[in-house]
Amino acid sequence: MWPFDAAGGPGLSIESLWLALYLLTFALHAVFVSYVAAGAAYAGVAAIRHSASPIAARTRDWLPFMLGAGITAGVGPLLFLQLLYQRRFYTANLLMGPRWGAVVPALIVGFYALYLAKAGERWRRIALAAGTACFGFVAWSWTELHQLMADDPAWRAMYGAGERFHLELAVVPRLALWLGAMPVLFATVAAWSATPAERRRLAYLALAGLGLAGAAAAVLIAGHGFESAHGWGPVTVLAAAVALAGWVVTARRPDGAGLTVTTAATAAALVAGAVVREVPRLAMIERDRATAVDAGGLAVFVVTLGIGIAAIAWVVRTVRGASR
C-alpha cells in the first residue's frame, strides 16, 4: 500500500519498513506529547482560575509519567528519522546548533516543573506555566527543524550568516495545526477516565482544537493544494469529520457511544495524517546506503518487540487488576 511500496522495484524495500515504523512510532509519540503539552496548559489554566477541576487534578497526576512515556516513545521515530533522512536531519541539527540543543534542557525543566506542580499548590501556577512554555518551545523547535530539513537551498546562507533560527511563515500554520491537534488528543485520552460531566467539558475542548487544526489545515491546503496521497488525504479528512461528529455526540450525550467512535476516528486521522504529512518528504528519502540496507538484527528486534508488547501488557494488566 502506498507510500510503503513507493521505493521502486519489486516487493517492499527496507526503506518501506523504516517508513512504516517511523510513522507508527511517530503517531504513538504524538499521543503522549500532546497529552503533556495540552494537559499542562489545561491544568495551568485551571490553576490560574483557582478551579478545583477533577480533570486538572487527574492530569497533573499523570503528566510526569506521560512525559516519560512521550520521551521514550520519541526515541523510536528519532531512530527511524535518521535512517530515512540522515544528511538532512543532521544538517538541520547542526545549522540550528545550540538553539536546537536547548530542546533537551527545556524538557528537563519541564519534567521537574510537572513534579513541582504535582507536589503542592504553592508553586503550581508558575510550574505549569513554565512547563507549558517549555513544551511549546519544543513543539516550535521540531516544527522549525522539519521545515529546515526540506529547505536545503537555504542552508549555505544560513550557515554563513550564523543564523540559528529558520523563521519562515510556513512554520506558523504547521505549528498551529499541531496546537489544534494536541487538545484533541489530550481530550481523547483524558475522556476515558472522566465522568459524564467532565466528558462534556473535554468535548468542547476537543471541538475547539479541531476548529483550530481545521483552520490551519485550510491555510496549508490553500498554499500547497490538497494532497490526495493515494487516498490517505481523504481518509484523514473523513476521519477528522467522524471525530468531530463523535465529539458533538459526546457533548450532547456524554455517556453514549460517541467517545468510542471519536477515539477510533481520531486514531485513524492521526495515522493517516502522519502519512499525508510525510508525502512531501518521500522524494527526499536517502536510499541505497548499503551499510543501512544490509544491516542485520531485524529478527532480534521482531522477537524483542513481541516480548516487549507482552511484558508491557502484563504490567498494565497487573496494575489495573490491583487498582480495582
Partner 1 sequence: MSPLDSPIPHYPVNDFGPLMKGLVIGGVGILHVFLAQFAIGGGMVMAYLERLGQRGVQDARTFVDGFFKILVLVSFVVGALTGVAMWFTTIQVGARTIGLMIDEFHWLWATEWVWFAIEITAGYAFYRHGGVLGDRARLRLLALYALASWMSLFWINGILAWQLTPGRWLDGGGIWAGFFNASFWPSLVFRTAVATTLGALVACIVINTMDLPRERRAALIRRVSWFAAPIAAMPLIALWFLAVIPADSRSWLLGGSMPMTMFVGVAAGASFLIGGYVVVGLLLHRLYINGATATLLLGLAFGATAAGEFVREGARKPYTVRGVLYSTSIRPAEVAALRASGVTADDPYPLRDAYPSDPLTRGAKVERALCDACHTMRGANALVELTRTWTDDQLRLNIAKLQHTKGFMPPFAGNALDVEALVQLLRWEHAERPAGFAPTSSPEHVAEIARWLDEAGTAPADAPGSGADGASAAGAAGAERQVP
Closest CA to 236 of 251, 252, 221: 221
Residue 107 lies near partner 1 (rule: CB under 8 A):
yes
Alpha-helical regions (H) of the chain:
14-48, 54-84, 86-101, 103-119, 124-150, 155-161, 171-191, 196-224, 232-252, 258-278, 290-293, 298-323
User: CA-CA-CA-CA torsion for 87, 93, 95, 100, nearest 10 degrees?
Assistant: 170
In whole angstroms, the minimum distance from the beta carbon of 73 to partner 1 comes to 8
Stretch that binds partner 1, among 47-55, 93-101, 197-205, 237-245 (CB under 8 A): 93-101
Crossing angle of the two packed helices 196-224 and 232-252, in degrees rounded to 10: 150
Residue 76 lies near partner 1 (rule: CB under 8 A):
yes
Whole-angstrom Cα distance, residue 28 to residue 22?
Answer: 10
Residue 155 lies near partner 1 (rule: CB under 8 A):
yes
In whole angstroms, the minimum distance from the beta carbon of 312 to partner 1 comes to 5
Neighbours of 100 (CB within 10 A): 18
In whole angstroms, the minimum distance from the beta carbon of 241 to partner 1 comes to 33
| Residue span 51-70 as binding mask against partner 1, x where in contact by CB under 8 A, dash where not | -------------xx-xxx-
Neighbours of 48 (CB within 10 A): 12
The three cell numbers locating residue 272: 493517516
In whole angstroms, the minimum distance from the beta carbon of 12 to partner 1 comes to 16
Question: Residue 220, CB half-sphere, CA atoms under 13 Å: how many?
Answer: 21
Map 220-237 to HEC letters: HHHHHCCCCHHHHHHHHH
Q: Which of 1, 119, 197, 307 binds partner 1 (CB under 8 A)?
A: 307
Residue 312 lies near partner 1 (rule: CB under 8 A):
yes
Residue 145 lies near partner 1 (rule: CB under 8 A):
no
Stretch that binds partner 1, among 148-156, 170-178, 233-241, 253-261 (CB under 8 A): 148-156
Residue 311 lies near partner 1 (rule: CB under 8 A):
yes
Residue 234 lies near partner 1 (rule: CB under 8 A):
no
* Residue burial 74-94, b: 16+ Cβ < 10 Å; e: rest: bebbeebbbbbbeebbebbee
Residue 20 lies near partner 1 (rule: CB under 8 A):
no
Residues 180, 210: contact at Cβ < 8 Å? yes
Stretch that binds partner 1, among 127-135, 199-207, 268-276, 307-315 (CB under 8 A): 307-315
Minimum CB distance to partner 1 smaller for 161 or for 169: 161
Q: Which of 6, 7, 24, 78 binds partner 1 (CB under 8 A)?
A: 78
Q: Which of 2, 49, 51, 101 binds partner 1 (CB under 8 A)?
A: 101
Minimum CB distance to partner 1 smaller for 120 or for 153: 153
Residue 165 lies near partner 1 (rule: CB under 8 A):
no
Whole-angstrom Cα distance, residue 208 to residue 206?
Answer: 5
The binding site for partner 1 (CB under 8 A) comprises: 21, 64-65, 67-69, 71-76, 78-80, 82-83, 86-88, 90-91, 93-95, 97-98, 100-101, 103-104, 107-108, 111, 152-153, 155-156, 159-162, 289-292, 295-298, 300-301, 304-305, 307-308, 311-312, 315-316, 318-319, 322-323
